[in-house]
Amino acid sequence: MTTQVMDSKAGRLSLANIWIAFITFLLASLMGVYQVAERSGFFPQIEVIELYFRSVSSHGVIMGFVLTTFFIMGFGYWIARSTLHIPLWGGDKLGWLGFLISLGGTAMAAIMLFIGKASVMYTFYPPLMAHPVFYIGASLLVVGSWVWCLQMIMTMSSWKKQNPGSPVPLAMYAMTANSILWFITSLGVASEVLFQLIPWSLGWIDTIDVGLARTLFSWTLHAIVYFWLIPAYIAFYTLVPKAAGGALFSDEFSRIAILMLLVFSVPIGMHHLYVDPMQSDGWKFVHMIGTFMVAIPTLITGFTVIASMEVAGRLRGGKGLFGWIKALNWDNPMVLAGGLSLLMLTVGGWGGLVNAAYSMDVAVHNTQWITGHFHLIFAGTTVIMYFAIAYYMWPSLTGRPLYSIKMARLQLWLWFIGMLVLTLPWHILGLIGQPRRIGAPPYSEEFTAPWVPYETAMLVGGVILFISALLLIINLFFSHFQNKAVQRPVMEYAQPLHPVLKLPGLLNGFGFWTAVIAVYMVASYGYPIVQFFLMETHGTFPWSI
C-alpha cells in the first residue's frame, strides 16, 4: 500500500499548497525589508505613507493567513498519506476544490490589498472599511481551509474504523487536533466577517458595533497562533528526534500536551483586549488564568523534545551532563532548526509571559515590544520549522534530492540570526515607548533620538531575513525542477522509546475534548458576547482609511 500512495501524483496537492505558501512568503518578506527601511526614517526619499500601510496590511495578511494556511494544509495532506497509508476521505479531488477556493479567495483579497483598497491591517479594524471584495476573499480563504479540516478529521476517522483499537500515529493525531482547533477558532473571525463586515461594507447595514467586532476577532486571535505552532510541535515530536537518530521520549505525553493546547488555547483570546473598554476586568482576569495554563503544555513539550534529543545524543556516544548536545548531528537541517527554534521559543515565551499578565501588559500594550514578541514566536520559532519541514519532505514529495544541504544550513542560521537582530531591539524599542504600526512618524526628536541605534539594528535584521527567504526559495526551486531523480524516500517519523500498543480512548480521539471546548467556550465567551445585545450600544458608521 505504501507504494500506491507514494506515486508521482500523490505529492501534487501538497506541493501546490506549499508552493503558494512560500511564493507569497517571499513577496511578503520583500515587503518586510521595505517596511523596516521606511520605518527606520533613514531614507526619506522612499517614505510614502499610503504605500507603507498598504505594505504592512499585505505583509500581515500574507504571513498570518496565507503562508500559514497553505503550508499547514500541504503538510497535513502529506502527513495523512504518509502515516495512514489510505486515500484521503473525499479523494484528492475534494482537496483540490478546497485549494482552489482558498486560492481564489487569496487572489481576491490580494488584489484589493495591492491596489490600496484594504489597508486596514490583517486585524480588519472596523470602522475603517475595506472594499467588500477583500472581506469576501478573506472568507473564502478560510472556507477553503474548512474543506481541509473536514478531510483531516474524516480521514483519521475512517482509518480508525479500519484499524479498531490501534493508536492513531502521533503526527496524524496532532494534525487532526490542529484541524479541529482551526475550525473552532476560525468561527470567531468568520462570524465577524459574515454577520458584520460583509453586510456593512455592502451597505446592507449602516453601522457596526466595534466592541462586538473586536470581541469576535479576539476569539480567533489567540488560538490561531496555536494553529500555526502545532505543525512546528509535530516536527519537534516526530521529525527532529528521527533526524537526530533517536526516539520520541513519550508518545503519551506528546498527546496530552497537544490535547491541552487544543482545550486551553481557544477560550483565552480576551488577553488581546486587556485595555479595551468594552469588556469588564473580571472576564479579563478569567482569561488571564486560562492563558497561563497554556504554559503547562508548552513546558511539557520542552521536556519531551529535549529528552528526545538527549536520547539521540547519548546514542551517538555523548557523555556527561551536556556532552550529548555536542554529539548531536547539528549539520542536519531538521536538527539544527529544532535547536534554533527551541532557543527562540525560550526567549519569546518569556516575553509572552509579560504580555499575558493582566498587570504588566499596560507597560507594553501596542508598543513595538508586541511586534518583537510575535515575530520571535511566530516568524522565528514556528516558521523556521516550516522551512525544516519543507526540506525534510521535499525529496519524498518531488522525487528529487535536496539541491544543497549546505545552503539549507546557511539559510536556517541566517533566519535565526536575522530574527534575533530584528526582534531583540524591537523589544527594547517597545519598552522605551515606541508604538507599533507606525511609519517614520514626525514625533519630536527628543522622544525619538534614543530609538536610532535599535532602528539601525532592525534594518540589518530585515535585510538578513530577506536574504534567507531568497535562499529558501532558490533551494526548493532548484531541488524541485532539476533532472536528477531519486527513488522517493518514505517519510519517516520518530518512534516512541516505549512502544504504544494500546491507548485510552481519550488519547486516541477528540469527541470528548470537543465537547469540553464547547462548554469552556460558552463559559468564557458566552456572556462577553451576549452583553452587546443586552446593553444599549451605538454602532459606528464606516470610515475610509
Partner 1 sequence: MHVDGTEKKWVILSVAMAFAMVGILTAYAINHNIVPPSNVETIDSVSLHLSAEFAEDKLGLRQTEDGSLVVTMVAARYGFYPQDMKVPVGTPITFRIASADVLHGVHTAGTNMNTMVVPGYVSEITTTFPKTGKFPMFCNEYCGLGHDYMWSRLWVVPKDEIKLGDTL
CB of 32 to partner 1, least distance (A): 17
CA distances from 292 to 54, 253, 261, 296, 359 (A): 35, 19, 12, 8, 13
250 binds partner 1 (CB under 8 A): yes
Of residues 73 through 102, those in contact with partner 1 by CB under 8 A are: none
Is 373 catalytic? The answer is: yes
Check 81, 272, 287, 375 and give the catalytic one.
375
Distance CA(124)–CA(14), nearest Å, equals 29
Q: Is 529 in the site for partner 1 (CB under 8 A)?
A: no
Residue 289 CB, nearest distance to partner 1 (Å)? 5
The catalytic position among 316, 365, 409, 437 is: 437
**Residue 120 corresponds to which cell in the numbers above?**
486596514
Residue count, binding to partner 1 (CB under 8 A): 81
Task: Name the DSSP class of 7.
Answer: S
Query: HSE (CB half, 13 Å, CA atoms) of 143?
Result: 16
C-alpha separations of 89 from 11, 77, 157, 331, 380 in Å: 16, 11, 9, 38, 34
Give, as ranges, the residues between 371 and 430 that touch partner 1 (CB under 8 A).
none
Pairs from 189-194 (Cβ < 8 Å, separation ≥ 24): 189/142, 189/216, 189/217, 189/219, 189/220, 190/139, 190/142, 191/216, 192/124, 192/216, 192/217, 193/124, 193/135, 193/138, 193/139, 194/139
| Shortest Cβ 421–partner 1 spacing (Å) | 24
Residues of span 291-330 touching partner 1 by CB under 8 A: 292-293, 295-296, 299-300, 303-304, 307
Instruction: Report in angstroms how near the CB of residue 395 gets to partner 1 at its nearest.
Output: 33
Residue 275 binding partner 1, by CB under 8 A: yes
436, 488, 493, 525: the active-site residue: 436
Annotated active-site residue 314? The verdict is no
Give catalytic status of residue 25 as yes or no: no
H or E element that contains 271: none
One character per residue 46-75, x = contact with partner 1 (rule: CB under 8 A): ---xx--x----------------------
43 is annotated as an active-site residue: no
Retrieve residue 348's grid coordinates.
519569546
For the bound state, the minimum distance from the C-beta of residue 251 to partner 1, rounded and expressed in Å, comes to 8
Active-site residue flag, 437: yes
- The region of 11-19, 341-349, 392-400, 536-544 touching partner 1 under the rule CB under 8 A is 536-544
Of the residues 504, 505, 511, 533, which one makes contact with partner 1 according to CB under 8 A:
504
Q: Which of 39, 54, 214, 222 is catalytic?
A: 222
C-beta closer to partner 1: residue 34 or 391: 34
How far apart CA 266 and CA 520 sit, in angstroms, is: 9
Binder among 22, 125, 226, 236 for partner 1 (CB under 8 A): 125
Site for partner 1 in 419-448 (CB under 8 A): 432-444, 446-447
Q: Could you say whether residue 365 binds partner 1 (CB under 8 A)?
A: yes
Site string for partner 1, 458-477 (x = CB under 8 A): --------------------
Query: What count of residues does the chain have?
Result: 545
Write out the three cell numbers for 503.
491507548
Residue 168 CB, shortest distance to partner 1, in Å, is 15
SS3 state of residue 435: strand
Among 363, 428, 470, 521, binds partner 1 (CB under 8 A): 363
The count of other CB atoms within 10 Å of the CB of residue 319 is 11
Q: Does residue 427 carry a catalytic annotation?
A: no
Q: Which sign does the torsion angle of CA 79, 187, 354, 261 carry?
A: negative
Cell of 200: 456593512
Kindly write down the DSSP assignment for every residue of 477-545, as one continuous string.
Answer: HHHHT-S---PPPPP--PPBSS------GGGT--HHHHHHHHHHHHHHHHHHHHHHHHS----B--B--
Task: Cite the DSSP H helix spans in 332-404.
Answer: 333-356, 361-364, 368-374, 383-398
Binding pattern for the stretch 171-190 against partner 1, x by CB under 8 A and - elsewhere? --------------------
Q: Tell me the Ramachandran region of residue 539: left when phi exceeds 0, alpha when psi lies from -120 to 50, beta otherwise.
A: beta
45 belongs to the binding site for partner 1 (CB under 8 A): no
Question: Quick check: 508 binds partner 1 (CB under 8 A)?
Answer: no
Residues classed as catalytic: 222, 226, 373-375, 436-437
